[in-house]
A and B are shown apart, each in its own frame.
Chain A
Amino acid sequence: MAEWMRLAEAIAAHVHDGETLAMEGFTHLIPFAAGHEIIRQQRRNLSLIRMTPDLIYDQLIGSGCASKLTFSWGGNPGVGSLHRFRDAVENDWPHPLAIEERSHSDLANAYVAGAANLPFAVLRGYAGSDFPRVNPQIRSITCPFTGEVLAATPAVRPDVTVIHAQKADWKGNVLLWGILGVQKEAVLCGKRAIVTVEERVESLNAPPNACILPHWVVTAVCEVPRGATPSYAHGYYARDNAFYREWDRISRDRERFSAWLDQHIRKTRDFEEYLALQRDPQVQAIYL
């Protein structure tokens, strides 16, 4: 049953050291506010899952929250590399990061398998590629009807899933639209789910077949306006492409990244204060 909470309370209550955490949102609706709060509360040894790690996991990895990453595409979309992710994989900074690498199709299928309470996903994939050589979790299964050999991979079953959505009503029923990625499956495959939303409304007024997560599959729901910034929320605000480019400069260098992290996340009280700092030209000039 969804409980309306403040974001800091929801993270404190439902995200614990050493757990498996999936934060989803395919370019759209990425739960940045929640990611920042996990950094503020200094979670450690998290096993992170996400199709496209994006800036959100670059920040978590660089700040030392993660010991493992399961992913399928680790770049800064439209810009280039994720430097904190690369520094962890290439140089063990700030400490070693185990990686479990899969393809988009595989991870998408693995979320579906998790949501359907199945132990593994089946797909036509990986034939001839080097992935099975470096990821022993990628195995094969023979179809009992046709004899076709298919790829089999473990289902995604996180301890906790975090997503951002557009709206939730007073009961905690959640509505999202636009590019949906794997968010519905991510919520349904997790043991617990935290959802941040742009706004709390009296009624969702959604048409039949809209993507709604009923309140009884959500653990905590938090109102965090602009909580997906610098990604976007369809119908609310656009992607902050300039920040994605600036991140390349901020994150390239360990010292500059650490200074940014301290000032913008560790020393801010919450996401609202972070957003105010983001709008302060004097502060931003330091990182340009």
Chain B
Amino acid sequence: MSETYTSDEMMTVAAARMLRNGAVCFVGIGLPSTAANLARLTHAPDAVLVYESGPIGAKPSVLPLSIGDGDLAETADTVVSTPEIFRYWLQGGRIDVGFLGAAQLDKYANINTTVVGAYGRPKVRLPGAGGAPEISSSAKDVLIIVKQSKRTFVEKLDFVTSVGFLTGGNAREAAGLSGNGPAAVITDLCILRPDLESRELKVVNVHPGVNREKILASTGWSLRFADSCEETPRPSPVELETLRDLKARTAAVHGTQGDRE
């Protein structure tokens, strides 16, 4: 009998698996940071975690609550200034994977973290860009981790904060963006990847216990499934135990699990 787990745990584990050992990864705070650290503690011990506040090669013992926690600086190979992080390391082309979250996402993996509603008179004012626009344009590949619902997976973004494939096809290349763009979107229901030609997101893996109707009902556009769509492998006991230990350590130190944006 296999262990039980939550859909959030499945999402984090599936995202962590995407990070290959040795990759240099620019990590956003929240879910991306949880997944990247899980990867580092399991199959990718040599992953290099870069945080926009300046730490390069951070190996935090608990999840950081803010992007500039002291633990990140103390465990890093080096700490550089914030301008240096963006100029030499990100724009300089030294980041393999940018790991991002999103408030809203469209079928071409463009991201909104700015406003819901009109910009000048927003219904909800979200935190804004942070480092995401340049991470999404300059990192060689981008991974996006986000909980899936009609509220987050929308037909049209209220604001394009960070660019995925713009209007699809070769629009991204035509706009002169240096990185390859989003390689995968990992949610609590499934994994999506862009179609090689249209660049529209397609479901390539469905998490165990999730059916297609549920995924469609949680998406604001008519979502397609790849012909070769498979079930996501369940979290292994090691993956689950490592994730739960990490969260328990974080809660003991911070009083919170550390993966809210």
Closest-CB distance, A120 to chain B (whole angstroms):
15
Q: Which of A86, A129, A130, A182 has the most CB of B within 10 A?
A: A129
**Which of A90, A102, A130, A178 contacts B160, CB < 8 Å?**
A130
Q: In this assembly, does A141 line the interface, its C-beta being within 8 Å of a C-beta of chain B?
A: no
Could you tell me the distance between the alpha carbons of A148 and B125 in the complex, rounded to whole angstroms?
A: 34
For chain A, give the interface size range: 35 or more
Q: In this assembly, does A271 line the interface, its C-beta being within 8 Å of a C-beta of chain B?
A: no
Closest-CB distance, B154 to chain A (whole angstroms):
15
Q: In this assembly, does B141 line the interface, its C-beta being within 8 Å of a C-beta of chain A?
A: no
Residues of A within 8 A of B209 (CB): none
Cβ A89 vs Cβ B122 within 8 A: yes
Across the interface, name the chain B residue whose C-beta is closest to A25. B68
Contact with A along B55-85 (1 / 0, CB 8 A): 1000000001111111011000001111101
Q: In this assembly, does A286 line the interface, its C-beta being within 8 Å of a C-beta of chain B?
A: no
Residues of A within 8 A of B159 (CB): 130, 134
**Which of B87, B160, B255 contacts A109, CB < 8 Å?**
B87
Could you tell me the distance between the alpha carbons of A150 and B190 in the complex, rounded to whole angstroms?
A: 37
Given contacts A52-B130, A104-B52, A129-B160, 20 further A-B pairs with CB under 8 A are A26-B82, A28-B70, A72-B128, A82-B127, A86-B124, A108-B86, A109-B83, A109-B87, A111-B83, A123-B86, A124-B138, A125-B133, A125-B134, A128-B163, A130-B119, A131-B161, A178-B73, A241-B65, A241-B254, A245-B255
Could you tell me the distance between the alpha carbons of A82 and B126 in the complex, rounded to whole angstroms?
A: 9
Across the interface, name the chain B residue whose C-beta is closest to A237. B70
Cβ A108 vs Cβ B82 within 8 A: yes
Closest-CB distance, B54 to chain A (whole angstroms):
5
Task: List residues of chain A with CB under 8 Å of any chain B CB.
Answer: 26-28, 51-52, 71-75, 77-82, 85-86, 89-90, 101-105, 108-109, 111-112, 123-131, 134, 148-149, 178-182, 184-185, 232, 234, 238-239, 241-242, 244-245
Residues of B within 8 A of A80 (CB): 260-261
**Which of A71, A82, A112, A179 contacts B53, CB < 8 Å?**
A179
Given contacts A27-B67, A129-B160, A181-B82, whether A123 and B72 have CB atoms under 8 Å apart is no
List 29 interface pairs A-B (beta carbons < 8 Å), by A numbering.
A27-B53, A27-B66, A27-B69, A28-B53, A28-B70, A51-B82, A73-B127, A77-B65, A80-B261, A82-B127, A86-B125, A89-B122, A90-B121, A101-B128, A104-B130, A109-B86, A123-B87, A123-B91, A123-B134, A127-B137, A127-B175, A131-B129, A131-B133, A134-B119, A181-B54, A181-B68, A181-B82, A234-B73, A241-B65
**Which of B177, B178, B256 contacts A241, CB < 8 Å?**
B256
Given contacts A75-B127, A180-B79, A239-B65, whether A126 and B133 have CB atoms under 8 Å apart is yes
Residues of B within 8 A of A181 (CB): 53-54, 68, 81-82
Could you tell me the distance between the alpha carbons of A101 and B129 in the complex, rounded to whole angstroms?
A: 9
Could you tell me the distance between the alpha carbons of A241 and B132 in the complex, rounded to whole angstroms?
A: 24
**Which of B79, B80, B125, B256 contacts A89, CB < 8 Å?**
B125
Across the interface, name the chain A residue whose C-beta is closest to B85. A108
Residues of A within 8 A of B83 (CB): 108-109, 111-112, 182, 185
